[in-house]
C-alpha cells in the first residue's frame, strides 16, 4: 500500500512539474501562434490520454481473474458515439492547425499571392538573405548594408525575408522566433516574422547541405527601434 501511494505521489509530481515547465512568453508573433496551437492541442490530448490509460488500467484490474469471458455484444449507440467523437476531435485538430498555417507570418507566400499582386507586405522591413555553402549573408536593400553571420532585426516591426541560395538547398531556421523555410536554387522564397523581445537568438541551417552544414549558423540580434536606427547609421557610416 505504501509503495502504491509513493507511485501515485511521484506521478502527481511529474504531472505538476510538466505543467510548470510550460514555455515562457514567446519572442515573436510566429512563435506565439505556434506555442498557442501546441498548448491548445495538449489540453485536448492530455485528458484523452488520461481517460484511455485509466480505463485500460481499470479493466485489467477489474477483470484480472475472469475465467469465463463473454463475447462482445453489438452496441450501435456506443459505436456511433465514439466514431462521432473521434471525428469531432480530428476536425478540431485540423481546423486549429490550418488557422495557424494560414497565418501570414507562418506562411507568407499564401497571403502574398492572395493579396493584390504581392503588395501585401510593403510596410515591412525587407531583408535579403543569401545562403551558400557554408554561411549566411544579410542585405538591407534600402540602406545598402550587408552583414555576414549576423542578422540584426528591429523589434516590434514586421520583417520580410527574401531568401535565395547560390548553390544547393538550405533552410533558414530561427527556433525562438518561429521561422523556418527551405530555400531552393533558382527561386526566391519568402519568410516573415515580427519579433517582440529584444535579445540574441540562434539561426541554423536546417537542411543537410554538405560537409559544412553543422557550422552554417548565425546570430540573430533583435534591437529596439532606437538601437536599431543607431546600428543602421553606424553601418552606413562605416560603409561610406
Q: How far is the CB of 203 from ligand CUA (least distance, A)?
A: 11
Closer residue to ligand CUA (CB): 105 or 136:
136
Q: How far is the CB of 164 from ligand CUA (least distance, A)?
A: 13
One residue of 26, 37, 145, 209 binding ligand CUA per CB under 6 A: 209
Closer residue to ligand CUA (CB): 131 or 145:
131
- Give the bridge partners for 96, in sequence order: none
Q: How far is the CB of 215 from ligand CUA (least distance, A)?
A: 9
26 binds ligand CUA per the rule CB under 6 A: no
| Contact string 145-184 vs ligand CUA (x = CB under 6 A) | -------------------------x--------------
One residue of 26, 34, 153, 205 binding ligand CUA per CB under 6 A: 205
DSSP 3-state of 25: coil
Q: How far is the CB of 218 from ligand CUA (least distance, A)?
A: 11
Instruction: Write the CA distances from 190 to 106, 111, 134, 138, integer angstroms.
Output: 10, 11, 20, 14
Q: Omega of the bond prior to 48 within 30 degrees of 0, cis?
A: no
Cα(32)–Cα(155) distance, integer angstroms = 15
Report how far apart the first and last C-alpha atoms of the chain are (Å, whole number): 78
DSSP 3-state of 217: strand
Candidates 10-18, 32-40, 119-127, 205-213; binding stretch for ligand CUA (CB under 6 A): 205-213
Question: Are the C-beta atoms of residues 52 and 44 closer than 8 Å to each other?
Answer: no
Closer residue to ligand CUA (CB): 203 or 216:
216
Q: How far is the CB of 192 from ligand CUA (least distance, A)?
A: 20
Question: Are the C-beta atoms of residues 209 and 172 closer than 8 Å to each other?
Answer: no
Query: Total residues contacting ligand CUA (rule CB under 6 A)?
Result: 9
Cα(120)–Cα(218) distance, integer angstroms = 28
Q: How far is the CB of 183 from ligand CUA (least distance, A)?
A: 8
Q: Which helix (H) or strand (E) holds 204?
A: strand 199-205
Q: Which three cell numbers stand for residue 34?
A: 505556434
Candidates 45-53, 153-161, 195-203, 209-217; binding stretch for ligand CUA (CB under 6 A): 209-217
Query: What is the Rg, in whole angstroms, of the alpha carbon atoms belonging to the chain?
Result: 25
Closer residue to ligand CUA (CB): 141 or 210:
210
Question: Are the C-beta atoms of residues 178 and 33 closer than 8 Å to each other?
Answer: yes
The residue ranges that bind ligand CUA (CB under 6 A) are 131, 134, 170, 205, 207-209, 213, 216
Amino acid at each position: 500500500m505504501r509503495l502504491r501511494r509513493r507511485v501515485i505521489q511521484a506521478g502527481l509530481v511529474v504531472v505538476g512539474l510538466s505543467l510548470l515547465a510550460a514555455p515562457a512568453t514567446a519572442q515573436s508573433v510566429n512563435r506565439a501562434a505556434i506555442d498557442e496551437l501546441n498548448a491548445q492541442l495538449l489540453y485536448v490530448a492530455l485528458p484523452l490520454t488520461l481517460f484511455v490509460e485509466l480505463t485500460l488500467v481499470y479493466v485489467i484490474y477489474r477483470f484480472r481473474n475472469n475465467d469465463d469471458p463473454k463475447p462482445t455484444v453489438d452496441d450501435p449507440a456506443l459505436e456511433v458515439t465514439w466514431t462521432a467523437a473521434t471525428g469531432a476531435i480530428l476536425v478540431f485538430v485540423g481546423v486549429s492547425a490550418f488557422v495557424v498555417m494560414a497565418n501570414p507570418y507562418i506562411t507568407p507566400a499564401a497571403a502574398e499571392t492572395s493579396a493584390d499582386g504581392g503588395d501585401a507586405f510593403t510596410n515591412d522591413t525587407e531583408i535579403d538573405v543569401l545562403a551558400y555553402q557554408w554561411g549566411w549573408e544579410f542585405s538591407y536593400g534600402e540602406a545598402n548594408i550587408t552583414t555576414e553571420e549576423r542578422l540584426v532585426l528591429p523589434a516590434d516591426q514586421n520583417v520580410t525575408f527574401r531568401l535565395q541560395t547560390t548553390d544547393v538547398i538550405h533552410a533558414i531556421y530561427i527556433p525562438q522566433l518561429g521561422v523556418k523555410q527551405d530555400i531552393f536554387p533558382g527561386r526566391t522564397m519568402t519568410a516573415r516574422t515580427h519579433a517582440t523581445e529584444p535579445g540574441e537568438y540562434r539561426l541554423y541551417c536546417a537542411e543537410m547541405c554538405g560537409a559544412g552544414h553543422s557550422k552554417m549558423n548565425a546570430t540573430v540580434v533583435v534591437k529596439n527601434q532606437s538601437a536599431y536606427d543607431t546600428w543602421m547609421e553606424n553601418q552606413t557610416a562605416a560603409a561610406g
